[in-house]
Structure 1
Amino acid sequence: MIGLTIVAMGSSAPEIVVSATASLAGKTDTAVGNALGSNITNIALVLGLTAVIKPLLVSSTTLKRELPVLLLISLLAVYFIDDSYMSRMEGIVLITLFVLVIAGMALLSFKVDKGDPLIAETEDEIPSGVSTKTAVFWVLIGLVLLPLSASFLVDSAVFIAKYFGISDLVIGLTIIAIGTSLPELAASIAGVLKGEDDLALGNIIGSNIFNLLAVLAMPGLIMPSALDISAASRDSLVMLGLTVLLFVFCFNIRGTRRISRLEGGVLISSFLAYQIYLFT
């Protein structure tokens, strides 16, 4: 439950705040690019690197339930972006689904098989010996620094984009997406090095679900507007394709249910090819 919600929400906080900041600045393409690019980076780069370090076993029944949810939400996101416009109603639908998914995951966590390895792994992630005052202090520090750093990130990225003649969409898909995906990279590598494969996968799956529901909802809720046509014809399809590929790797016909080093290499190669295509 913690790995799929609290850890994932915490590592998705940069994307949410950056998307809101970009939307308030009228940079809808940057906000949408951040959501799509973060999911692409999470699957192709973060999971790819993690699998190369150590092949990932998919053993948790919880993760087997979350992957189909991610695939369905990805299809919905592609459908919403297909008309190259993010409306306020689409934003409302996405944020409502976000609340429902959180509530659903909370309810399902009470029914999870006690033998599920994710339970023991996520319990190990709960901090111990931390006072309430200390926890509240760091939450407040984070609430101050996160929006400030998000504002600096968006303003600087827009400056770079204008200097090099890069579109707002591409800057959101690349520099901002990679920057805001660093928490997922750190959490996933730390998880796999400790042998907690399901926590590493759960972090990415949970983060991607939140990106498409909470992060993608921001431009629709804050600044409904037309999008760069490439978001529909290129980037959303790349995101969906990588999600399908992850699904295939986790539930392959050989029945091994693991992401091997070779498959991790395929994901990394896909990420590099996509980045090269964007800039050339």
Structure 2
Amino acid sequence: MLSALFAVVIGLMVLVWSADKFVLGAAATARRLGMSPLLVGLTIVSIGTSAPELFVSAVAALDGVGNLAIGNAVGSNITNIGLVLGVTALIAPIPLQQKLLRKELPLMLLVTVLASLTLVDLELTLMDAIFLMIGMVVAMYILFQESDDAGEALVDEDEAAAIESLSSQMAMMWLVVGLLALMASSKALVWGATIIAQSYGVSDLVIGLTIVAIGTSLPELAASVASAIKGHHEIAIGNVIGSNIFNLLMVMPIPGLLAGIKVEPLALYRDVPVMIAFTAALLVLFILSRKRGQLGRGSGILLLGSFVGYLLSLFLLANE
């Protein structure tokens, strides 16, 4: 049991570190190969914050604990809105951008609903996975329309400078080291989380929704808080929207793509509605806050309080 707990803690720490190095190495390598800063920002950097969820879900599916992967995707989206944006709004009110209400936020809600519908039959099949991944291509196309400055908005000055200054050899080294560390830490995290779940009689789904989801959302939390402190609020909200769409359209399909799984009923009847509610609540909060022009600390308290309440309900239900 102690070794499993150690594997989870060390796995999470290495996972966060390796994701950062992997993204840095991949972005710098892409720049050395001639990819524009805009394209690097729109693809590698924006998607790279979800690398922990991606690798953990792949390992969980291959290890036969697909519901941990489902819990990771759903739980990460709830965590991104409730914890990440809640904490960010508490640190510094988030200025509202009207374009978010026109395109990004409605798209995130639509993706959330459509992805949820694939679980209605309590199965995640190969066809479901293909449907979701096609949805990712469509969503990326929609997001990139009229987004001439989107790539730069997703990368702050320090990160852009680090990408530009890295030599080809160092970029390749961090790419390989980050990738290997991601694989190893994901394996350790899934193994430790599974042992803990079995020891306490908690389902893989709940472990995925809590420990794993919060742990794999740490890069988004760190990036968003750092961006808020620096006054780059567009990066904070952009990270969450991009990550949530990617989680549902690329991370959640992995179990269906690799093996196909039976989804725990509680995931559909309890956790998916909570995810939809958090997503819809964020859209409503933006609409209600338009006159003030910012998502203030009151909204942050509401989001964070709701997230804590959800975690407490999971804990109480798990111990009944």
Compared with structure 1, are the counterparts of its residues 201 and 63 closer, same or farther at alpha carbon in structure 2 (3 Å cutoff)? farther
Contact 2:123 2:261 in 1 (8 A): yes
Partner of 2:309: 273
Partner of 2:9: none
Q: CA deviation at 1:104?
A: 4.0
Partner of 1:251: 287
Compared with structure 1, are the counterparts of its residues 107 and 221 closer, same or farther at alpha carbon in structure 2 (3 Å cutoff)? same
- Counterparts of residues 1-280 of structure 1 (less than 5 Å): 5-59=43-97, 61=99, 64-110=102-148, 119=152, 122=155, 124=157, 125-127=159-161, 128-252=164-288, 254-280=290-316
CA distance in 2 between counterparts of 1:232 and 1:264 reads 27
CA distance in 2 between counterparts of 1:157 and 1:77 reads 25
Give SS of 1:26's match: coil
The one of the two structures with greater contact order (alpha-carbon pairs below 8 A, sep at least 6) is 1
Q: Which residue identity is paired with 1:186?
A: A
Q: CA deviation at 1:219?
A: 1.0
CA distance in 1 between counterparts of 2:132 and 2:59 reads 18
1:88-114 Cα distance to aligned partner (Å, 9 max, x none):
10101111222333344345434x6xx
1:125-158 Cα distance to aligned partner (Å, 9 max, x none):
4233222222221111111110110000000000
When normalised by structure 2's length, the TM-score is 0.81
Structure 2 portions without partners, runs of 5+: 1-37
Compared with structure 1, are the counterparts of its residues 256 and 13 closer, same or farther at alpha carbon in structure 2 (3 Å cutoff)? same
Give the RMSD, CA atoms, in angstroms. Answer: 2.0
Contact 1:48 1:266 in 2 (8 A): yes
CA distance in 2 between counterparts of 1:70 and 1:131 reads 37
Contact 1:249 1:258 in 2 (8 A): no
Compared with structure 1, are the counterparts of its residues 38 and 4 closer, same or farther at alpha carbon in structure 2 (3 Å cutoff)? farther
CA distance in 2 between counterparts of 1:109 and 1:45 reads 27
Q: CA deviation at 1:247?
A: 0.7
Contact 1:4 1:203 in 2 (8 A): no
Q: CA deviation at 1:249?
A: 1.4
Contact 1:4 1:202 in 2 (8 A): no
Contact 1:251 1:257 in 2 (8 A): no
Q: Which residue identity is paired with 1:142?
A: G
Contact 1:8 1:204 in 2 (8 A): no
State the percentage of identical aligned residues. Answer: 44
Structure 1 portions without partners, runs of 5+: none
Contact 1:57 1:197 in 2 (8 A): yes
